[in-house]
């Protein structure tokens, strides 16, 4: 008689197999391990998930596309970048996830982001699968004409793999409204179709949704507020430390101010600014969104209340709430220890996997409310899905309606994560709650659709 291995043994074996088959992809390993670490109780309670190799299938992308992107700069020199699209799982709907243009982009980064996207999208309840893409192209310092030529070359290959019923990319780091416009224009030129639902993050005058630029930052603040309310507090009067100064960070700061909190910091790759009076949102937007300048420019123009710390760690600044909003693995165990020592109450991830596992465990042991990215930053993809719905109906919703829907979705995600964690004996563990709730929704759909 053969004895079926227990759930933990199966997951440990799968972890080793994933590392063997995907060498030199540490971010992807980290993302998979975080999910697998929470699934043993689920597989024990629901053995039907273990039988058809479901978890193994979930960890293998349905499709991985890598392609060459040649383009010319303004001096006529030819550059060659590499493009990626990982279509990870479509059990719940068309692949959905952003494009990232940044020198750090490689296959492992895109796979980690796509894997996270599966669960994040499932948590929204909006019928979208998980995918991600991008390129190692750096738009920083490039002219509009150079960015346009790159985007056109990128879309010349990507167009054959996407569509409103197949795969719907959006923006991410390095891909904002300018880049989405160029990508959409080239898609329209090649296909001869006005297929508005093929890309999200479009301009509001040509198929975009209100509140889409704000959605990720707004959502992470709403999730932080929900975690605090669960503990009998709210954001009003709380101090906050925010990393980054891109789209997510700016609108995180905007929402914090709207809810009566006091955001003290922002940062970029050179260092961070701490502003004792609270971040001046209008000045920050002028420097980063209009002038595309450095965060040090903010400090120079703000006056005596602000100081710039070159090369420092933004987490050194004491605050009640921390919202990492820049990039993956930006908050390590030492940073977490500093935040805990300074009395942080809640951490809500606006970026994708910005907190290393050791730091997450430290926060949880210290009793800090920790909102993982796949739940806390789901607001962006939620409004992207709402943009798809508006495109399908050839209509546009008011900003008030979109923001109301966003608040409802983020509240539902918080409730789902909180209740799922309690159901599996881990009360207050939003990491386990998010992983398990997202997994169950995808797994049930995969079981219903057979071994494909």
pLDDT at residue number 433: 98
CATH 3.40.50.10860: which residues of the chain? 63-195
Backbone φ and ψ for 395, nearest 5 degrees, come out as -140, 170
Distance CA 243, CA 265 (A): 7
**96, 120, 132, 255: which is the annotated catalytic residue?**
132
Read off the tokens for 239: 């101090």
- Residue 276: pLDDT over 80: yes
Structure tokens at 165: 């019923």
- Which part of the chain has CATH 3.40.50.720? 215-371
Q: How many residues are there in the chain? A: 452
Average pLDDT of the residues of the chain: 96
Work out the average pLDDT over 92-96: 98
Average pLDDT on 368-388 reads 98
What pLDDT is attached to residue 292? 86
Of the chain, the percentage scoring pLDDT greater than 90 comes to: 96
Tell me the per-residue pLDDT of 298-333, one tens digit each, with 9 for 90 and over.
Answer: 999 999 999 999 998 999 999 999 999 999 999 999
pLDDT at 119 over 80: yes
- Segment 154-172 shows an average pLDDT of 97
pLDDT at residue 212 greater than cutoff 70: yes
132 included as an active-site residue: yes
Residue 4 has pLDDT above 60, yes or no: no
**Residues near 71 by Cβ (< 8 Å), separated by ≥ 6?**
78, 79, 81, 146, 149, 150, 152, 153
Band the pLDDT of 51: cuts 50, 70, 90: confident
pLDDT band at 7 (very low <50, low <70, confident <90, very high): confident
- 233-260: burial string, b at 16+ Cβ within 10 Å, e else: bebeebbbbbbbbbbbbbbbbbbbbebe
Q: Which has the minimum average pLDDT: 70-74, 173-177, 382-386?
A: 173-177
pLDDT at 6: 81
pLDDT in the model for residue 2: 39
Q: How many CB atoms lie within 10 A of CB 213?
A: 22
- For the cut 90, the answer to whether the pLDDT of residue 349 exceeds it is yes
Pairing of strands 262-263, 321-323: unpaired
Residue 5 has pLDDT above 70, yes or no: no
**364's tokens:** 């949880």
pLDDT value of residue 3: 40
pLDDT in tens, 398-424: 999 999 999 999 999 999 999 999 999
Give the model confidence (pLDDT) of 176-194 as tens digits: 999 999 999 999 999 999 9
Question: What average pLDDT does range 227-242 have in this prediction?
Answer: 97
CATH number of 63-195: 3.40.50.10860
Q: Do residues 353 and 27 touch, judged by C-beta distance below 8 A? A: yes
**How large is the average pLDDT for residues 440-445?**
98
Residue 81 φ/ψ, nearest 5 degrees: -110, 175
Cβ–Cβ < 8 Å for 167, 195: no
pLDDT reported for residue 371: 98
Q: What average pLDDT score do residues 79-93 get?
A: 98
97 has pLDDT over 90: yes
In terms of C-beta density within 10 A (0-12 exposed, 13-18 middle, 19 or more buried), how is residue 428 classed? middle
Nearest of 190, 185, 191 to residue 207 by alpha carbon: 185
CATH superfamily of 215-371: NAD(P)-binding Rossmann-like Domain (3.40.50.720)
HEC-encoded secondary structure of 58-116? HCCCCEEEEEEEEEECCCCCEEEEEEEEEEEECCCCCEEEEEEECCCCCHHHHHHHHHH
């Amino acid at each position: 008689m053969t004895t079926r291995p227990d759930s933990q043994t199966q997951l440990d074996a799968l972890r080793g197999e994933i590392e063997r088959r995907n060498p030199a992809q540490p971010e992807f390993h980290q993302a998979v391990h975080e999910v697998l670490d929470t699934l043993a109780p689920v597989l024990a309670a629901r053995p039907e998930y273990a039988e058809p190799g479901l978890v193994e299938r979930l960890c293998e992308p349905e499709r991985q596309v890598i392609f060459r992107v040649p383009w010319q700069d303004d001096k006529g020199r030819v550059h060659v970048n590499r493009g990626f699209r990982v279509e990870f799982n479509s059990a719940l709907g068309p692949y959905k996830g952003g494009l990232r243009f940044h020198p750090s982009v490689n296959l492992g980064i895109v796979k980690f982001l796509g894997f996270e996207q599966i669960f994040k999208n499932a948590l929204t309840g909006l019928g979208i699968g998980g995918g991600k893409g991008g390129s190692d192209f750096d738009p920083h310092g490039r002219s509009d004409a150079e960015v346009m030529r790159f985007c056109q070359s990128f879309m010349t290959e990507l167009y054959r793999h996407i569509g409103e019923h197949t795969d719907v990319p959006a923006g991410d780091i390095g891909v904002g409204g300018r880049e989405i416009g160029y990508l959409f224009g080239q898609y329209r030129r090649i296909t001869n179709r006005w297929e508005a639902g093929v890309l999200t993050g479009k301009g509001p005058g040509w198929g975009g949704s209100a509140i889409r630029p704000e959605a990720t930052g707004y959502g992470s603040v709403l999730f932080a507020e929900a975690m605090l309310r669960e503990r009998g507090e709210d954001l009003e009067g709380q101090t906050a430390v925010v990393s980054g100064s891109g789209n997510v960070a700016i609108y995180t700061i905007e929402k914090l101010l709207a809810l009566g909190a006091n955001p003290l910091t922002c940062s970029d790759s050179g260092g961070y600014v701490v502003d004792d009076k609270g971040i001046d949102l209008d000045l920050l937007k002028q420097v980063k969104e209009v002038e595309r300048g450095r965060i040090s420019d903010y400090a120079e123009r703000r006056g005596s209340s602000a100081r710039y710390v070159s090369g420092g760690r933004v987490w050194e600044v004491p605050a009640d709430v921390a919202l990492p909003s820049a990039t993956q693995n930006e908050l390590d165990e030492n940073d977490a220890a500093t935040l805990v020592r300074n009395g942080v109450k809640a951490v809500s991830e606006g970026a994708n996997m910005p907190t290393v596992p050791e730091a997450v465990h430290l926060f949880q042991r210290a009793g800090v409310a920790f909102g993982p990215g796949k739940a806390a930053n789901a607001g962006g993809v939620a409004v992207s899905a709402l943009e798809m719905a508006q495109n399908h109906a050839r209509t546009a919703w008011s900003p008030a309606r979109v923001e109301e829907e966003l608040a409802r979705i983020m509240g539902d995600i918080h409730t789902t994560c909180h209740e799922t964690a309690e159901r599996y004996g881990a009360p207050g563990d939003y990491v386990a709650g998010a992983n398990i709730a997202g997994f169950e929704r995808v797994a049930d759909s995969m079981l219903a659709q057979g071994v494909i």
